Structure formats: C-alpha cells, structure tokens
Structure 1
Amino acid sequence: MRFLSLFIALILAIVLPIGAAIYVGTAGPGPYLLVDGGPSQEWLAPRDVGQGQAVAHRHASQAEARDASDRQLEALDTSSYSSVQSVTRYRLRAGGVGLLLPVEGWLVHVVAPDRAALDEQVAALPFLQANPDPNPVAWALDRHPGAVALGILAYALLLGCFMFRGAAWAGTVKPAPGTPVLDAAQLRARLLEVNGLDVPLQVSQTEKGRYVLTWVLDHARWARPGGMTFVSKVKRVELAFDEAHKVVRVVETTMLRDKDKGVTGLSARISLFRGVTIAETSHQASIGLTYQPSLGWTVQPAHEFRYRDSELKGPFIQCVTGSGWSWRPVITFWRPLGG
C-alpha cells in the first residue's frame, strides 16, 4: 500500500505541474494586442523601422494567420527558432533575427540585426502594444528561458530526492509491537550464525562496521547445440546499523554475468542494478536439443533457474524485525538522499 501511495504521489507531482503549465500557456492571454484598429494600409508592404523592417498581412482568422506563420518560417533559412503561444522568434544562417507574430487575424513579421534591435522595433510599431496582463508562462519562456531551465532542473532534483526518500519510507518493515529490542552486538551475532549453515551465502564485515550479505544465486555452465553457456548471478546486500533509532539501513546490488561461447565466437554481458527492490521474480530456462536412436529428436530443459527475491531477503528481514529493529531499504547511505 505504501508503494502504491508513493507511485500515485510521484505521478501527480509530474503530471500536475506540466498540465498546469500547458493549460496556462495555451489558454492564457496573448503577449501582444492591436491598437488603433490594427495596421494601416502602409504596413502591407515592408517598411523600415529602426535598424530593420516590418510588414503586416491580413488573414481571415487567427488560425489562418498561424498557418501562414508556419509556412513563412519553413521558407526561411534559419539556424534556430523558438515558438511560444504561436509567437516565433528565429535566427537566420546569414545573420540577423526575426519575429513572426500572429495577432487577431494579422501576421506581423519583423526583422532586425540582433535581439535588442528587434525588441526596440516591435515596441515602436504604432499599431501594436504589449499585453498589460501577459501570460506568465509565455513571458517566462520568452524573457527568462535560462531561469526556467534552472527551475525545471531544481524541481527534477527535488523530485528525485523525494522519490529516493519515499522509496525508503515505503519499503520500511517495522517490528511487531512489543518485540524485545536487542542491542547491535546481539543482532550482529544472530546474522553471523548464517555462516555456519550449508547455504550459498556469506555474511562478512566491512571496515566501516557494516555487514555484507552475499548470495551466489546461480553459477552454472551447460552445453547447448553449438556451444557452451556460462551464467553467474550475485546479489549483495550491505547493512548499516543505526543504533540510535534501531534501524538497519540496506543497500542492494545485483550483478548478472552471462557469457556465451559458440561457433560464432564469444559474447559476454554484464548488468548491474543498485537500488530498492520492491519485488523480483525470475525464471530462466535453456532448451537442449538431443537425438537418441530409440527416441529420435527430443527437446528438454537443459538448465532451469528460478529466483524469488522475497525468499532470499525474507529470513533476514524476519531476523532483524524479530530483534526489535526496523529494516529500511535505501538508495544510498548518504542520508539527504537515502533517508
């Protein structure tokens, strides 16, 4: 239930800001308004304005003005362009910048040597004025794109931190109420008892006082038609003991090595995963082809492997919680991110 709540919260944290920005950006007011009835007859041909030129063309509707803007942009040899609320700014390969502005059924086209001159020319047009109540999204993207990019990056980092800490919260397993609490030395001793059992598992201690549980989940080689296959899967779980809060913080790492040697040569693959595992179940089988005179051709599993994450970690979670401690999977032991 906790992981479902975390998933819903993450989806909302992504969808709501994006949806709100799109709605405000598309449904909000335009950046410019026509005044004095719009462009007069003299603006239907290019006119010099400041260091550049401006021209206006009348269309039957705002939609047709936007379509004309798109066609005109395609006809230009631009090196880059950006469009916010159908207002397009572009840079020519030959030098110079321009503005294509559909407004109230008119298409206003302004060109200038640079951005500063372009802004001055647009402000000097007698039939056009900036909207006194501009669209905040369009204004921010047009005037402060760098600040918008930094804001998006900061929000993404904040969202990542929330996701990492939320995963630790969602994956925490607490002891049952009334469970006697052992000290760290007793818990460590319980964990080390596993080394005396005949299992493919080793419990070791690091220089930082942490414990490492290492499972060799599968290490096999088998023949197949035309070659040999070698597979090794190792799961490593590092435990850090927080004695003040009686919490065992856990970082999981899984490594899979797959090597195939056959008539076509040698191929190898290594995959590494580090993070919080919610649940993992896998089944792998290699089919062997054989021929026997009495049976003919037969196909049967030459190697089969099944793995369920809960079967490996479950006993250790029970050991920790049965000692009165909480089990908390984390992305990293660095607390600002891991929790």
Structure 2
Amino acid sequence: MGLFDKLTGTRHPDIGIAPRSAEEVRTALLAVNRPDVPYVVRHARPDERADLVAEWRIEEPAWHTFFARSQLTSTLRTRMRLVPDDQEVRAVDEQWQVTWVGETPRLAISREYSRGQVSAVSRQWTYERGDDGRMHKTEVFRFDPAELKDPLRAAVLGAGWTWRGVVFRL
C-alpha cells in the first residue's frame, strides 16, 4: 500500500477472498441499511454520477430529534461507483454545512463544502459532578464519519473487492 492509498483510505481485501460479482457487491452494500442506524445506502440519482450513495438520514422525520438534539453542524455523503473490471468500489466523500431552522434541519448552500476523504471526528462534552463529588467529563455526542464508512468498507472487502478512496472524480 502506497502513501497515497493510505491518505485516501484505500483498502485491499485479504488474500484468498474470491471476488464476487458486481451485483453481489451492490447487494452487500445495500444490505448495510438497517432502521436503527442514522444513515441510509441507496441507489444514486442520475445527477449524482455514482452507482450508490450513503448519507446521514438528517432529512428523515424519524431522525429529526436525534440530529436536532446534537445540533450537528455538517452532514456527510459518500458516493460510490462500482468498477467491475478492476473489482473495486471507488468512493468520494462530500460534506456540507447544515443550517438549523427551529428543530428541522435544512441543508444550506454553503461555501463550506468539502470533497475528498472526510475523517474528522466532532465531539461534544459536558462536565458533571459525579457521585464522588468530583467533576467528570462526559461525551454527549460524537459525529464520526467512520460510523458510516466502516460498514460500507467491510461489505466491499468481504466481497473480495478493493475499497478505493478517491479525492476528485469517481
């Protein structure tokens, strides 16, 4: 693995894992969807220029309370293209700022848009007095892109394909 692969998060499957078909990889990625996780994996729209998209469920009513309570300031989308000839999934991250109006999150058109590989973790902490009378730091919220990308990467690697993080184009 080269330096650029390390910087982009490219991972190769373990030796001995037989590569599956593109349709099986697509099915494995869509199987990451569960109702109890704050993200969704879906087929991409034509304007997204990808095969699949994984994104936080920030606009779904069932998840408004979760995201409003945390006052999340950015949202993440991972666009994925399956490349059967190379047996790899090329993935690029896009991050936007979120504007809060009341308790309903609205995606704002912002100058703070980033694209490439997002790995920054945001955390919120509070200090509380514990039973022992001392102050303790407690994490109340964490926004970690790995919570979205790790299951996707595991599905791809488990299917014998390479997960290739890209910076500019799929």
Matched ranges for 1:245-260 at <5 A: 245-259=86-100
Q: Which residue of 2 aligns with 1:180?
A: 18
Q: Which residue of 2 aligns with 1:215?
A: 56
With over 3 angstroms needed to count, the CA separation of the structure-2 counterparts of 1:255 and 1:176, relative to structure 1, is same
**Structure 1 portions without partners, runs of 5+:** 7-165, 223-229, 262-267, 288-299, 335-339
Q: What amino acid is the match of 2:124?
A: Q
Paired with 1:280 and 1:169, the residues of 2 have a C-alpha distance of 13
Higher RCO (CA 8 Å, separation ≥ 6 residues): 2
Q: What amino acid is the match of 1:219?
A: F
Deviations 1:11-37 (A, max 9, x none): xxxxxxxxxxxxxxxxxxxxxxxxxxx
Matched ranges for 1:15-54 at <5 A: none
Matched ranges for 1:102-113 at <5 A: none
Q: Is the 8 A contact 1:204 1:211 kept in 2?
A: yes
With over 3 angstroms needed to count, the CA separation of the structure-2 counterparts of 1:304 and 1:169, relative to structure 1, is closer
1:202 paired with 2:40, answer: yes
Q: Which residue of 1 aligns with 2:76?
A: 235
* TM-score normalised by structure 1 residue count: 0.37
Give the superposition deviation at 1:183.
0.4
**SS of alignment partner, residue 219 of structure 1:** helix
Q: What amino acid is the match of 1:283?
A: R
* TM-score normalised by structure 2 residue count: 0.69
Between the aligned residues of both structures, percent identity stands at: 29
Q: Which has the larger radius of gyration?
A: 1
**SS of alignment partner, residue 33 of structure 2:** helix
Q: What amino acid is the match of 2:122?
A: S
Q: Which residue of 2 aligns with 1:318?
A: 154
Task: Give the helix-richer structure, 1 or 2.
Answer: 1
With over 3 angstroms needed to count, the CA separation of the structure-2 counterparts of 1:219 and 1:314, relative to structure 1, is same
Give the superposition deviation at 1:174.
0.2
Give the superposition deviation at 1:309.
2.8
Runs of 4+ in 1 over 6 A off after TM superposition: none
Give the superposition deviation at 1:186.
0.7
Q: Which residue of 1 aligns with 2:140?
A: 304
**SS of alignment partner, residue 67 of structure 2:** strand
Deviations 1:112-169 (A, max 9, x none): xxxxxxxxxxxxxxxxxxxxxxxxxxxxxxxxxxxxxxxxxxxxxxxxxxxxxx3687
Deviations 1:306-332 (A, max 9, x none): 133333311211110110100011112
**SS of alignment partner, residue 172 of structure 1:** coil
With over 3 angstroms needed to count, the CA separation of the structure-2 counterparts of 1:170 and 1:234, relative to structure 1, is closer
With over 3 angstroms needed to count, the CA separation of the structure-2 counterparts of 1:324 and 1:253, relative to structure 1, is same
